[in-house]
Amino acid sequence: MYKIRWVLLWLFLVNTFLTSGQTTTGIASRNASPLQSGPMVGYSDMREVMLWAQTKQPARVQIRYHEAGKPTPAHLTNEVKTNRNAAFTAHLLADQVEPGKKYEYEVLIEGRKVSLPYPTTFQTQNLWQWRTDPPAFRFGVGSCTYVGEGEYDRPGTPYGGGYEIFTALAAQKPDFMLWTGDNTYTREADWNSRTGVLKRYTHTRSLPEMQPLLAAAHNYAIWDDHDYGPDDSDRSYWLKTTTLDAFKLFWANPNFIFDEGCTGTFFWNDCQFFLLDDRTFRAPDATPDGPEKVYFGEKQRQWLIDALRFSKATFKFIITGGQIVNPAKIFENYAIYGTERDKLFNEIADAKIPGVLFITGDRHHTILHKLARTNGQPGSTYPLYDLTISPLTSGPSKPLADELKQPTYVEGTLVTDRNFGILSVSGPLKDRVLTIQVFDQKGAERWSRELRANDLK
């Protein structure tokens, strides 16, 4: 009788593992892996690509790579000995590459290959200038990634979920992914100590569903309040140098413009992306509006205008956390910083900078805003678009009723459940087209729009 019960119990456990997609062998293999999270593909350029990995304990890490379909010659990145102070993270530079190539790679820990059940690939940027039209490309967009951890979450209905959205995102095979803020959520136990911040970054980055996307698409990021500090954090946050250190440890952006903050920029073919920091220099939300109430701050705003003037990019994507174009003066929209907002819009118009679009997050719903501009003369200035894509795995929310009455709201673009964007740029250099597609967490398309570069001049 007891033997029958044990057999039935064993069959039940095996069936449980199989129906959950995890075999006992698979669980043992995952737990035995020396990798904590990653590998992740960071920035790409013509002569180098940055890769990233995190181990569970101190270890020697290196990456071996070769051109796709050509196992030889194989090359090795620098070797990094991970350590506790850097949360066991490693930045690994692939610098024996050629422009416009695709590569396959594998992670070596203590000289041994780590077996992974999904593709590990990266690519270098194309040398198209003065030779051909720029290639077409596709990139993913998403913000607000909350990964639950019961004992540290607030009581009640779980706030994070729908992690299969990363599987749907990876299935789109974007060239790169734009993480547009709130990419992790520090919590009460985290934001007062370096230990807490690094633990939260590690916990989020270790989500199993996220790993295939990280391993095969290049990744670029900014932060917003939750990966910077507490909710609605501003320049007064006491641990912002620590969270900046964590941001640099866990992401692999190509540059940082200032000694403080996450501001940077990168190119992909004929497009330029301006990664803005809406937290480090920000005055408190409750400050009365006026010249002293800054959002991006003087030096960051001036750098942006200078960089936009200099840029020859077809589309100039400005990436930041909070909504820019929405005129509703609510929550943390740029509209509550009206003096600086007006100044920025006027500077863009006065400089006659073509091709500017904003990509934002924060609001836990997706929506497109379009601001008609005249600059004193009817029809003299193209409209400013602001594409908000949110959330990935955080709890969705709806805009206020008044927001949908704003003249900037583009009908049919509101999505109030978990979703992500895929943006594609295609066509000849003189007639580039931006296609925006929004998908739900299962990968079903919710809406799409096209914008022509020639209409943004």
Cβ pair 354, 430 in contact under 8 A:
no
Query: Is residue 379 scored above 70 in pLDDT?
Result: no
Pair of tokens at residue 426: 């295609």
Closest CA to 144 of 455, 451, 412, 441: 441
Please state the rounded mean pLDDT for residues 23-41: 71
DSSP per-residue letters across 198-226? HHHHHHHHT-GGGHHHHHHSEEEEE--HH
Query: 70: helix, coil or strand?
Result: coil
Output the domain CATH number for residue 157. Answer: 3.60.21.70
Give pLDDT, residue 375. Answer: 56
Q: Percent of the chain, pLDDT > 90?
A: 91
Assess if residue 132 is contained within a domain.
no
Domain boundary among 82, 100, 123: 123
Residue that the structure tokens 């597609």 belong to: 437
Cβ pair 212, 172 in contact under 8 A:
no
Domain boundary among 123, 156, 175: 123
Query: Is residue 327 scored above 60 in pLDDT?
Result: yes
**What's the structural domain count of the chain?**
3
Please tell me whether residues 186 and 214 are part of one structural domain.
yes
The Cα angle at residue 367 between residues 365 and 372, in degrees rounded to 5: 150
How sure is the predictor about 4, in pLDDT bands with cuts at 50, 70 and 90?
Answer: very low
Please tell me whether residues 99 and 197 are part of one structural domain.
no
DSSP per-residue letters across 283-333? PPTTSPSSTT--SS-HHHHHHHHHHHHH---SSEEEE-SS-SS-----TT-
Query: Is residue 15 scored above 70 in pLDDT?
Result: no
Assess if residue 130 is contained within a domain.
no
Please state the rounded mean pLDDT for residues 74-88: 98
Please tell me whether residues 281 and 361 are part of one structural domain.
yes
Assess if residue 207 is contained within a domain.
yes
Domain boundary among 123, 153, 183: 123
Q: What is the pLDDT of residues 388-400, one digit of tens each?
A: 999 999 999 999 9
How sure is the predictor about 374, in pLDDT bands with cuts at 50, 70 and 90?
Answer: confident
How far is CA 371 from each of CA 201, 238, 325, 362, 408, rounded to the nearest angstrom? 36, 36, 6, 19, 5
Alpha-carbon gap, residue 304 to 299, rounded angstroms: 9
Q: Percent of the chain, pLDDT > 70?
A: 92
Please tell me whether residues 117 and 165 are part of one structural domain.
no
Query: In this predicted structure, which of 113-127, 274-288, 363-377, 416-430 has the lowest mean pLDDT?
Result: 363-377
Alpha-carbon gap, residue 343 to 328, rounded angstroms: 17
Pair of tokens at residue 112: 């041994």
Length of the chain: 457
Output the domain CATH number for residue 92. Answer: 2.60.40.380
Please tell me whether residues 25 and 49 are part of one structural domain.
no
Please tell me whether residues 164 and 312 are part of one structural domain.
yes
Query: In this predicted structure, which of 10-19, 197-206, 379-388 has the lowest mean pLDDT?
Result: 10-19
Q: What is the pLDDT of residues 227-278, one digit of tens each?
A: 999 999 999 999 999 999 999 999 999 999 999 999 999 999 999 999 999 9
Give pLDDT, residue 5. Answer: 40
Query: Is residue 23 scored above 50 in pLDDT?
Result: no
How far is CA 128 from each of CA 98, 269, 318, 426, 435, rounded to the nearest angstrom? 13, 8, 23, 14, 21
How sure is the predictor about 6, in pLDDT bands with cuts at 50, 70 and 90?
Answer: very low
Domain that holds residue 25: 1-29
Please tell me whether residues 278 and 320 are part of one structural domain.
yes
Alpha-carbon gap, residue 104 to 406, rounded angstroms: 48
Please tell me whether residues 203 and 339 are part of one structural domain.
yes
Please tell me whether residues 221 and 324 are part of one structural domain.
yes
Please tell me whether residues 232 and 99 are part of one structural domain.
no
How far is CA 134 from each of CA 49, 307, 313, 315, 367, rounded to the nearest angstrom? 20, 21, 11, 12, 29
Assess if residue 53 is contained within a domain.
yes
Assess if residue 131 is contained within a domain.
no
**Residue 342 phi, psi (nearest 5):** -60, -40
Average model confidence (pLDDT) for the chain?
93
Please tell me whether residues 166 and 112 are part of one structural domain.
no
Query: In this predicted structure, which of 5-14, 68-77, 80-89 has the lowest mean pLDDT?
Result: 5-14
Alpha-carbon gap, residue 143 to 174, rounded angstroms: 16
Q: What is the pLDDT of residues 88-133, one digit of tens each?
A: 999 999 999 999 999 999 999 999 999 999 999 999 999 999 999 9
Assess if residue 129 is contained within a domain.
no
pTM of this structure: 0.93
Query: Is residue 19 scored above 70 in pLDDT?
Result: no
Please tell me whether residues 93 and 2 are part of one structural domain.
no
Assess if residue 387 is contained within a domain.
yes
Assess if residue 128 is contained within a domain.
no
Alpha-carbon gap, residue 307 to 318, rounded angstroms: 11
Pair of tokens at residue 360: 């934002």
Secondary structure of 103-141 as H, E, C letters: EEEEEEECCEECCCCCCCEEECCCCCCCCCCCCCEEEEE
**Residues in Cβ contact with 61 at an 8 Å cutoff, skipping those fewer than 6 apart:** 53, 55, 79, 80, 81, 82, 90, 92, 107, 108, 109
